[in-house]
Structure 1
Amino acid sequence: MTDGQLWVFAYGSLLWDPGFEVAERQIAVLADHHRSFCMWSIHHRGTVQDPGLVLALDRAQGTRCTGLALRVPAGNEDDTLAYLRERELISAAYTEEICAVTLEGGPAVRAVTYVIDPGHVQYCGDLPLERQAQVIATSVGGRGPNHEYLSRTYSQLQALGIDDPDMAWLERRVAELTKGAGQH
C-alpha cells in the first residue's frame, strides 16, 4: 500500500479480468521479475490429469515485467484482498508480496503482487517455448481452454502497447497448432 492506497500489479489474467473494482489503471514496471508460463495449472486452465500452463512472475535479476498497476477504490481494500487471495492462492504456488512498481512517467508505488514459489510442485520454469505452446494448445480447465487465456492476455498486452516477444511467439505458434483442430 502507498499512502493508504491499495495497488495491485497485473501481468496476466488480471489485465483483462481483474474481478474487482478498479479506480485507476496505469502502465507499470516491476524490476527483477519476468512474465512467464512457468506454473502448471491444475484448476483454472488444466486439470491434475492434464495440467495447463498459466503465467506467473518469476524472479530473475536484471529482468523487468511491464503490466498494469490497478488502484483499488478507498474502502474496497479488504474485500479486494480477500477476493485476490481466494483466486490467486488457490494452491499456494504463488506468494503474496508487496513490491515496488514504477508507474509509467511517474513515481514508484507499493503494490500487491503474486510471485511464483520456485520450490512449489507446480513450478515449471525451464519449459522450452515449443513445449509451452504444445501444452497451451490442448489443455482445458475450470475457466476454459488454455489457449483462450493466452489469447486474451496477449490481446490485452497489445492493446496496452506492451511488447512481450515470448507472448507474441506463443500466440502465433498456438494459433498454428489449434488451427487444424478448429480450436482458435
Structure 2
Amino acid sequence: MIRPARDPEALLQQALAEWGGQEDLWVFGYGSLIWRPEFDFLERRPARVHGWHRALKMWSRINRGTPERPGLVFGLLTGGACRGVVFRIAREEGGAALARLWQREMKLAVYDPRWLPADTPQGRVRALAFTLSRKSPSHTGELSEEEYRTIFACASGIYGTTLDYAHRTHEELKRHDIHDRNLEKLLRLIREREEDATRS
C-alpha cells in the first residue's frame, strides 16, 4: 500500500480555513475535472490562470497506473498560462465538495492545493487549483517520446488507462475550444505508432 508523504487531512483543513466558507467556492479544472467534476455546481465558466501551465508530467500510481508500472496524469506546473474552466459551488455545499475532491485528488497528498486568480469573461475569481511542484517525486521531469509511447501502450489503473485519460481530456478541451499543442503532439505519437504497426 502506498502511503502519502504528507497528511491529506491537514491539507484539507488548511484549504477549508483559507476558503473561509463565507462565499461560494470556486475550483479550477484543467484536466479530468473538466469532464468528470463529481460535484454539483451552480455555474461553469471558461477561465485562464497565468503563471501556470498544464503538463502530462505527473506519475499516477493508482488512478491511471500502478506502483510497478506508473501511468501519467496532468499537473499544473509553474510557467506560461493555462486555459481551463472554473466551477462555482454553493457556499453551503463547499465543504462537502472539497472533502470529495480530497478523496479523489489528494489520497497521496501529491498536489499542492493553491488559490489562484482565474480570469473569466465575467471577471476574475479566486479558485482552488491542484498544482504540482517540480521537486515532487511524482513529477516525471522530461520524458522522451519513446517513454511516452511505452506509458500510453501499457499503463492502466483503477480509473482506466493513461491513453484513455489523455484522449478524454483532449476531446473535452476541444469541446471548450481549448487547444493544447503539447497534448496534441503526444497523441500524434500514438497515431504514428499505430500507423507504423499497420504498415509493418
TM-score w.r.t. the length of structure 2 is: 0.82
What is the CA–CA distance in structure 2 between the aligned matches of 1:142 and 1:162, rounded to whole Å?
A: 27
Aligned partners of 2:145 and 2:189 also within 8 Å: no
Q: Tell me which amino acid in the other structure corresponds to 2:177.
A: G
What is the CA–CA distance in structure 2 between the aligned matches of 1:91 and 1:164, rounded to whole Å?
A: 27
Q: Tell me which amino acid in the other structure corresponds to 2:104.
A: R
Aligned partners of 2:64 and 2:155 also within 8 Å: yes
Displacement of 1:143 in angstroms is 0.7
Aligned partners of 2:64 and 2:161 also within 8 Å: yes
C-alpha spacing 1:3/1:53, structure 2 compared with 1 (3 Å): same
Q: How many residues align?
A: 179
C-alpha spacing 1:139/1:115, structure 2 compared with 1 (3 Å): same
What are structure 2's unaligned runs of at least 5 residues? 1-18
- The answer to whether the aligner puts 1:154 opposite 2:174 as a matched pair is no
Q: Please list every run of at least 4 consecutive aligned residues from structure 1 whose deviation after the TM superposition is greater than 3 angstroms.
A: 175-182
Q: Tell me which amino acid in the other structure corresponds to 1:29.
A: R
What is the CA–CA distance in structure 2 between the aligned matches of 1:130 and 1:9, rounded to whole Å?
A: 31
Aligned partners of 1:93 and 1:123 also within 8 Å: no
What CA deviation, in whole Å up to 9, does each residue of 1:85-125 have, x standing for no partner?
1211121210111111101x231100011001222211113
Bigger drift between 127-136 and 112-121 goes to 127-136
What CA deviation, in whole Å up to 9, does each residue of 1:136-157 have, x standing for no partner?
2321011111111001000000
Query: What is aligned with 1:59?
Result: 78
What is the CA–CA distance in structure 1 between the aligned matches of 2:104 and 2:62, rounded to whole Å?
A: 10
Q: Which has the larger radius of gyration?
A: 2
Partner SS for 1:131: helix
Aligned partners of 1:39 and 1:56 also within 8 Å: yes
Higher fraction of helix: 2
- The answer to whether the aligner puts 1:95 opposite 2:116 as a matched pair is no
- The answer to whether the aligner puts 1:23 opposite 2:42 as a matched pair is yes
What are structure 1's unaligned runs of at least 5 residues? none
TM-score w.r.t. the length of structure 1 is: 0.89
Partner SS for 1:76: helix
Of 20, 30, 33, the residue aligned with 2:52 is 33
Query: What is aligned with 1:80?
Result: 97
What is the CA–CA distance in structure 1 between the aligned matches of 2:196 and 2:110, rounded to whole Å?
A: 33
Aligned partners of 1:8 and 1:71 also within 8 Å: yes
C-alpha spacing 1:133/1:109, structure 2 compared with 1 (3 Å): farther
Displacement of 1:129 in angstroms is 4.7
Q: Give the percent of matched residue pairs that are identical in Structure 1 and Structure 2.
A: 31
